């Protein structure tokens, strides 16, 4: 009897550190052997001329997240994770969002119900803390962290989500005490509100003014403030969805001072510009996200940051709202103000193909960097490594076989999300996932989805080594 359930043979394998030619032996969902010529497995895949990479870890995506404004996300945990795996992602970390005035623990229970029996790949949850009452800070957060919800996002904008600086400090202090990791949405709320009001007075409400209302200074100021608050508490943070040069400068400045400041960017800041919000009619709403896409020069700064170590992770920030839908982008019709358009764009399936084609195939980033940014680093950042994010003995057999020559032009009709558009329509790519394997099971092959609904498992996250403060043990305030 063979010891391997599956052998992937003759592939070129890349991790965040190495590139090698070898076979991969899989048993009971895990990688159990890496060697030049493995004996026959029950099932075999010939990966000659193909690239074998760790399945992607999308550490920032939204699915089935209840909204306060009447909008509804188009993807639930079935369509969202299905779309992910077709694009080469095998682990997702969406958000369990606390509603102000409600329990965080209850929000987590609710998200489990949304995901169980639906997810087709493995998932963990970040928390979103919107109401850090003493009960949440002292009771709920420590208990949730101990149970494997070890990262949380905080917002500096949006009335229903944002925290004051004081509340941010309280949350950061709990993170420091418990070893959890904080992600920050850094935009100055009052600046945006002020800009939106003035634009409205001038009748400037069409989608393109979403970007006008959020110039880079808005993101730069909040990024700097978040860094300062984290420095005061002495706790690492990660700035999510960084859009351009001005926030990058702040992050680099902090990193150069030795602060543990990490950063994430997303494909929209590499492939879209502000001009995409300025389309005929209401079409620009398709690209409304926050922070907004900037310009070509800023795209280059983001590409540079992927190479020079400013960014540790690239996530999709998949936020699936339909375009032609009264609970989507057109919640206030096609003549309403940009300020009511739900923020966010879909991209869970296109994240890896876009970055592979324009990054690796165009020579902007090397293969190891691609793997690090899209799989290994997010797994490490959020306490899932080495179970996820790499190809190593003992790791889950979450693997993607890439055809590096395949030419694909992105069209919404080929995607598996439940959204009626993609902002990347018409972009020509070279290189695409051919086979996706999740815990040793082929879940997608040559365009055919084989994954059984509900097969995805919840992942309890460990504490991240990235969350360690500089001065361990010394709590704040420290005389």
Kindly tell me which residue out of 83, 299, 312, 343 binds ligand DUC, with binding defined by CB under 6 A: 343
Q: Which does 98 bind (CB under 5 to 8 A by kind): Zn ion, ligand DUC, none?
A: none
- Smallest separation, CB 240 to Zn ion (Å): 6
Kindly tell me which residue out of 12, 50, 185, 322 binds Zn ion, with binding defined by CB under 5 A: 185
Q: Which does 378 bind (CB under 5 to 8 A by kind): ligand DUC, Zn ion, none?
A: none
Contact flag: residue 241 with ligand DUC (CB under 6 A) = yes
**Residue 1 neighbours by CB distance under 10 Å:** 3
Contacts of 257 (CB under 8 A, 6+ apart): none
Contact flag: residue 290 with ligand DUC (CB under 6 A) = yes
Kindly tell me which residue out of 11, 55, 284, 344 binds ligand DUC, with binding defined by CB under 6 A: 344
Counting residues that bind ligand DUC (by CB under 6 A) gives 8
Cα–Cα distance for residue pair 48/12, rounded to 1 Å: 8
Angle in degrees, CA 180, 183, 185, rounded to 5: 155
- Smallest separation, CB 268 to ligand DUC (Å): 10
Q: Identify which of residues 235 and 288 has a Cβ nearer to ligand DUC in the complex.
A: 288
The encoded tokens of residue 366 equal 């090397």
- Smallest separation, CB 287 to Zn ion (Å): 15
β partners of residue 154: 184
DSSP 120: S
Binding mask 297-336 for ligand DUC (x = CB under 6 A): --------------------x-x-----------------
Q: Identify which of residues 93 and 245 has a Cβ nearer to Zn ion in the complex.
A: 93
DSSP E strands in 28-150: the ranges are 30-35, 43-46, 51-54, 56-58, 89-92, 95-97, 122-123, 126-128
SS3 191: helix
Cα–Cα distance for residue pair 387/48, rounded to 1 Å: 26
Q: Identify which of residues 25 and 267 has a Cβ nearer to Zn ion in the complex.
A: 267
- Smallest separation, CB 317 to ligand DUC (Å): 5
**Residue 361 neighbours by CB distance under 10 Å:** 14
Contact flag: residue 410 with ligand DUC (CB under 6 A) = no
Contact flag: residue 59 with ligand DUC (CB under 6 A) = no
Binding mask 306-335 for Zn ion (x = CB under 5 A): -----------x------------------
Contact 171, 154 (CB under 8 A): yes
Which residue in this structure is represented by tokens 């057999």?
397
Contact 155, 218 (CB under 8 A): no
- Smallest separation, CB 89 to ligand DUC (Å): 17
**Which of these, 239, 242, 234, 301, lies nearest to 268 by C-alpha position?**
242
Cα–Cα distance for residue pair 357/328, rounded to 1 Å: 30
Q: Which does 224 bind (CB under 5 to 8 A by kind): Zn ion, ligand DUC, none?
A: none
Q: Which does 88 bind (CB under 5 to 8 A by kind): ligand DUC, Zn ion, none?
A: none
Kindly tell me which residue out of 50, 162, 185, 286 binds ligand DUC, with binding defined by CB under 6 A: 185
Sheet holding 181-185, edge to edge: 95-97, 126-128, 151-155, 181-185, 237-239, 261-265, 313-314
List residues near Zn ion by CB under 5 A.
185, 317
């Amino acid at each position: 009897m063979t010891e391997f359930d599956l052998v992937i043979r003759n592939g070129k394998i890349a991790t965040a550190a190495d590139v090698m030619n070898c076979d991969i032996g899989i048993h009971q969902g895990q990688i159990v052997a890496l060697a030049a010529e493995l004996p026959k497995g029950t099932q075999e895949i010939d990966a000659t001329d193909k690239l074998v990479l760790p399945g992607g870890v999308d550490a920032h995506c939204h699915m089935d997240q209840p909204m306060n404004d009447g909008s509804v996300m188009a993807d639930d945990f079935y369509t969202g994770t299905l779309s992910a795996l077709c694009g080469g992602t095998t682990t997702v970390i969406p958000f369990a969002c606390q509603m102000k005035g409600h329990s965080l623990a209850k929000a987590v229970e609710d998200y489990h119900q949304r995901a169980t029996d639906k997810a087709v790949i493995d998932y963990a949850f970040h928390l979103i803390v919107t109401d850090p009452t003493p009960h949440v800070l002292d009771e709920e957060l420590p208990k949730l962290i101990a149970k494997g919800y070890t990262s949380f996002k905080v917002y500096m904008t949006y009335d229903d989500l944002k925290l004051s600086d004081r509340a941010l400090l309280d949350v950061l202090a709990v993170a420091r005490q418990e070893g959890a990791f904080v992600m920050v949405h850094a935009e100055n709320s009052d600046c945006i509100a002020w800009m939106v009001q003035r634009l409205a007075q001038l009748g400037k409400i069409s989608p393109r003014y979403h970007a006008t209302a959020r110039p880079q200074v808005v993101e730069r100021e909040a990024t700097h403030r978040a860094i300062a608050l984290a420095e005061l508490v002495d706790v690492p943070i990660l700035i999510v969805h960084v859009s351009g040069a001005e926030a990058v400068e702040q992050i680099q400045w902090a990193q150069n001072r030795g602060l543990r400041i990490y950063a994430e960017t997303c494909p929209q800041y590499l492939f879209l510009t502000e001009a995409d919000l300025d389309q005929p009619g209401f079409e620009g709403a398709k690209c409304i996200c926050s922070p907004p896409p900037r310009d070509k020069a800023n795209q280059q700064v983001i590409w540079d940051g992927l190479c020079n170590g400013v960014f540790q992770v690239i996530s999709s920030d998949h936020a699936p709202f339909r375009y032609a839908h009264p609970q989507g982008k057109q919640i206030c019709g096609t003549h309403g103000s940009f300020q009511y358009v739900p923020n966010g764009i879909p991209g869970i399936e296109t994240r890896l193909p876009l970055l592979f084609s324009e990054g690796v195939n165009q020579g902007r980033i090397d293969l190891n960097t691609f793997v690090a940014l899209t799989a290994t680093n997010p797994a490490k950042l959020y306490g899932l490594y080495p179970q996820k994010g790499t190809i190593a003995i003992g790791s889950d057999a979450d693997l993607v076989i890439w055809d590096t020559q395949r030419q694909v032009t992105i069209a919404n009709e080929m995607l598996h999300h439940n959204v009626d558009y993609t902002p990347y329509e018409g972009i020509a790519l070279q290189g695409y996932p051919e086979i996706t394997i999740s815990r040793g099971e082929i879940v997608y092959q040559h365009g055919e989805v084989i994954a059984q609904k509900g097969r995805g498992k919840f992942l309890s996250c460990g504490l991240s080594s990235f969350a360690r403060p500089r001065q361990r043990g010394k709590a704040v305030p420290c005389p």
